[in-house]
Amino acid sequence: MIDGKTKVYGLIGNPVEHTMSPLIHNTIAEQLGEPMVYVPFPVERGKAGEAVAGAKALSIQGLNVTVPFKSEVIPYLNGLDGIARRIGAVNTLVAEGDGYRGYNTDMPGLLRAMHSDGFGVENRDVMILGAGGAARAVAYLCAENGAKQVFLLNRTLGKAQEIAVEINAFCEKELIRPMLLSEWEKIPGDGFLAVQATSVGLYPNVNDTVIEDRGFYKKLEAGYDLIYRPWKTKFMKLVEQEDGSAFNGLKMLLYQAVIAYELWNRTQVPESLSEAVYLRMRKEWESNEA
């Protein structure tokens, strides 16, 4: 029931037509009896500032931000939360004073997804594949949550090195070790948690993965692919072939939204509700795939 007291939240991005965020937020709000509605707003490229000012003028209480505005929106905000400042990207805006404060719930979302699967990075040996925006954020997640050692493997070594310099300075130790993807055999030991943070394997290129060699997958106890289209990526199939546990990025998508909802409504979403929303997302996902 929408009435004069309904609070409006939304998503700015381009494109936004296929987003699952309205399903997540509107389901949680309905279940918790919160008088709010969440809608996607397609915004033209280069118009992040107008979108933020317009949202504030319309008393929109909070926004999610997606591609291509995650960094572009920052100059138009009143302030940034610590994680968002370090990563240099926001995905959640919370109304504050005459504007919005920027947060990044993507990485806390991944961490909560891992915890719900019985994993985490604390005291673990981690490999991150990729050195783009997502991989950089995962590297910060490892630094902030007590990972033991982190190998950062990328096609372009320079990008991995840049991230390593930045994060090692942040945590004041040689935590992140940058390498070329092709150098994986130099990594000693096994039992790793791997996070696949490249765009390789994303639909329609479902038969691609950054590392094909089965020897690499023998080193893994678990593998997280940040991709969730297809449901099971080639990376995940190879992890499972070597008896590892494999997960896609859909739960990360769920929990980044749950954390945004919690910030907006100063509440805690019950885990049983998050799980119920996840089942709805899976159903929706499957009907889109069919």
Question: Which is nearer to ligand NAP, 256 or 265 (by Cβ)?
Answer: 256
C-beta nearest to ligand NAP: residue: 132
3-class DSSP assignment, residue 257: helix
Whether 148 is catalytic is: no
According to DSSP, the β-strands at 125-129 and 220-225 are unpaired
46: left (phi over 0), alpha (psi -120 to 50) or beta: left
Altogether, the residues listed in the chain come to a count of: 290
200-206: Cβ within 8 A, 24+ apart: 201/225, 201/227, 201/230, 201/233, 201/234, 201/235, 202/227, 202/229, 202/233, 203/229, 203/230, 206/230, 206/233, 206/234
Tell me if 139 contacts ligand NAP by CB under 6 A: no
Q: Catalytic residue among 47, 56, 70, 237, which?
A: 70
The distance of closest approach from Cβ of residue 72 to ligand NAP in the complex, given in angstroms and rounded to an integer, is 14
| CA gap 266, 273 in Å, rounded | 16
The distance of closest approach from Cβ of residue 58 to ligand NAP in the complex, given in angstroms and rounded to an integer, is 27
Tell me which residues in 72-101 interact with ligand NAP (CB under 6 A): none
Binding-residue total with ligand NAP (CB under 6 A): 24
> Exactly one of 34, 106, 125, 144 binds ligand NAP (CB under 6 A); which one?
106
The distance of closest approach from Cβ of residue 88 to ligand NAP in the complex, given in angstroms and rounded to an integer, is 12
Tell me if 278 contacts ligand NAP by CB under 6 A: no
Tell me if 210 contacts ligand NAP by CB under 6 A: yes
Number of C-beta neighbours around residue 268 at 10 A: 9
* 198 close to 152: Cβ distance less than 8 angstroms: no
Closest CA to 9 of 32, 41, 31: 41
The distance of closest approach from Cβ of residue 204 to ligand NAP in the complex, given in angstroms and rounded to an integer, is 13
> Exactly one of 131, 194, 239, 269 binds ligand NAP (CB under 6 A); which one?
131
> Exactly one of 19, 133, 162, 245 binds ligand NAP (CB under 6 A); which one?
133
Question: Which is nearer to ligand NAP, 8 or 263 (by Cβ)?
Answer: 263
> Helices 250-265 and 271-289 meet at what angle, rounded to 10?
130
Q: Cis omega before residue 204 (within 30°)? A: yes
Tell me if 199 contacts ligand NAP by CB under 6 A: yes
| CA gap 155, 131 in Å, rounded | 8
Tell me which residues in 30-69 interact with ligand NAP (CB under 6 A): none
The distance of closest approach from Cβ of residue 186 to ligand NAP in the complex, given in angstroms and rounded to an integer, is 18
Contacts with ligand NAP, residue ranges (CB under 6 A): 106, 130-135, 154-156, 159, 197-200, 202, 210, 226-228, 249, 252-253, 256
Catalogue the active-site residues: 70
